[in-house]
Amino acid sequence: MALAHNQFPTPEQVEQVRHQYPKGSRVELVWMDDPQAPPIGTKGTVVGVDDIGSILVTWDNGSHINVAFGEDIVRRIPVMSDTVKEQTLSIRDTALTNMLDTSTVQRLAFDRGYYELVDFIRTDQKWCVTFIMTGRTE
């Protein structure tokens, strides 16, 4: 959402940003129009959100430049929990389906009570496939 210059977000918008980018979440820089900006694609860890909706990030390259509300763009990087990883490997070990068939994986997970995996596939299907193909959890 783009804001006119010098317009501040509402308290509700700030709370929405805090909910979407909680402390400790991982982000990747998509766009920042600032000569001091880290390179596009740089990853970092959220340390908080200030009262004007800026996301405070410690970037992996050592930078600490903030993500300005309504100006800069980051995306949250889903991180697979240990529980979801274990549940995924448990489904894989059954050999009942091609693991790239995420609909069937999700059904098998539901049948086994692996609700964390069911939800992870629903919200972050791309990352589930990434883990299956590469073993990366971030």
- pLDDT at position 3, please? 45
Angle CA 90–86–129, to nearest 5: 85
Rounded Cα–Cα distance for residues 80 and 64 (Å): 25
127-134: average pLDDT: 81
Angle CA 50–120–55, to nearest 5: 10
Per-domain residue ranges of the chain:
11-77, 82-134
Helix (H, G, I), strand (E, B) or coil at 52: coil
Cα 38 to the chain's mean position, in Å? 19
Rounded Cα–Cα distance for residues 63 and 56 (Å): 11
**Span 39-80, pLDDT tens digits:** 999 999 999 999 999 999 999 999 999 999 999 999 998 778
Rounded Cα–Cα distance for residues 57 and 36 (Å): 14
- pLDDT at position 121, please? 87
**Is 11-77 CATH 3.50.50.60?**
no
Q: Which residues contact 48 (CB under 8 A, 6 or more apart)?
A: 23, 55, 56
pLDDT at residue 4 tops 60: no
> Mean pLDDT for the chain?
90
Rounded Cα–Cα distance for residues 106 and 48 (Å): 33
**Span 82-93, pLDDT tens digits:** 999 999 999 999
Q: Would the pTM of this model clear 0.75, i.e. be above it?
A: no
